[in-house]
């Protein structure tokens, strides 16, 4: 579900295939408004508009369109993206097109749950949000996908939740394991939902079909017919062919038969 936001219209087969909690997650994703990054909500930005002689307030503070390239999915840009617009020149009234880009940094971030360092491309806003969340793990687990806007971030969230559910960290230090688990256990969700965290719609459909095939495996017709033939041959007793009698019609058709009695 990472990437562009759209309304999902399931076909009947896909609607029956996908789990209910994943479809609910998609609906919540569409209904949730992201936190403003490149603009500010200011209710005072309104003007009077007359419709049929009646005056009403019209909101003029609109979100700025932001582009999120594929590179942003492999980093943590903190909701920042590319902004395309026009910039007015100083000495003339002409406007020139311009593309505003975020300042990208390469930083090493440590995860307590995974006990691993990650070299990730981030922005200054991402580092500020990590500090506000009191740690890298808290930032990943707390931030909603609408605001995270990163497949890498959602993949890390899924791995962190799986590690918490199975307690696969610090096996040699049980005291530290218990401390880390108690610190982040409030973020846990049911086990059957963890493996679906952060999957795009296409990935979710592929996963659902694979699970369906495991429950109801499709056997090739070749194997079915081969098994039926083997079972039929096992249950059928074959009789030895009888030798034709001396004066039978079959004995007359024998091309190797001679009238010489010595042969």
pLDDT(165) > 80: yes
Nearest to 115 by CA among 154, 38, 167, 71: 167
Q: Residue 255 carries which DSSP code?
A: T
- Across residues 210-219, what is the average pLDDT? 80
Give percent above pLDDT 70 in the chain: 79
- Across residues 175-187, what is the average pLDDT? 94
Q: Give the C-alpha separation, 39 to 153, whole Å.
A: 23
Query: Both tokens of residue 78?
Result: 């903190």
State the pLDDT confidence band at 125, using cuts at 50, 70 and 90. Answer: very high
State the pLDDT confidence band at 249, using cuts at 50, 70 and 90. Answer: low
pLDDT(14) > 90: no
CA distances from 96 to 45, 81, 93, 101 (A): 26, 20, 10, 16
Q: Average the pLDDT over each of 39-43, 48-52, 157-161, 257-261 and give the range with the smallest value.
A: 257-261
Is pTM, for the whole model, over 0.75?
no
Comparing 6 with 191, which gets the higher pLDDT? 191
Pairing of strands 54-59, 46-51: antiparallel
Query: Both tokens of residue 226?
Result: 């081969």
State the pLDDT confidence band at 1, using cuts at 50, 70 and 90. Answer: very low
Q: Alpha helices, DSSP H only, in the chain? A: 12-17, 20-31, 70-73, 124-132, 136-142, 145-148, 151-166, 174-184, 191-194, 201-215, 221-235, 249-252
pLDDT(195) > 70: yes
pLDDT of residue 147: 93
């Amino acid at each position: 579900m990472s990437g562009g936001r759209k309304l999902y219209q399931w076909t009947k087969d896909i609607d029956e295939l996908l789990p209910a909690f994943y479809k609910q997650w998609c609906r919540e994703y569409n209904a949730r408004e992201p936190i403003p990054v490149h603009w500010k909500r200011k209710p005072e930005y309104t003007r009077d508009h007359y419709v049929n002689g009646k005056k009403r307030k019209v909101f003029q503070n609109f979100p700025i369109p932001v582009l999120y390239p594929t590179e942003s999915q492999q980093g943590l840009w903190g909701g920042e993206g590319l902004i395309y617009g026009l910039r007015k020149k100083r000495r003339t009234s002409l406007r020139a097109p311009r593309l505003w880009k975020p300042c990208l940094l390469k930083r090493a971030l440590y995860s307590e749950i995974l006990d691993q360092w990650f070299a990730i491309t981030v922005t200054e806003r991402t580092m500020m949000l990590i500090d506000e969340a009191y740690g890298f793990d808290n930032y990943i687990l707390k931030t909603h996908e609408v605001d995270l806007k990163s497949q890498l971030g959602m993949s890390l969230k899924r791995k962190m939740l799986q590690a918490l559910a199975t307690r696969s960290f610090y096996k040699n230090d049980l005291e530290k394991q218990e401390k880390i688990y108690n610190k982040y256990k409030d973020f846990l969700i049911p086990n059957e939902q963890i493996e679906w965290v952060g999957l795009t719609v296409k990935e979710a459909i592929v996963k659902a079909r694979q699970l369906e095939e495991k429950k109801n495996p499709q056997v090739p017709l070749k194997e079915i017919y081969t098994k039926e033939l083997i079972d039929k041959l096992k249950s059928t007793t074959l009789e030895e062919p009888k030798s034709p009698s001396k004066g039978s019609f079959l004995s007359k058709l024998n091309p190797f038969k001679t009238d010489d009695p010595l042969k």
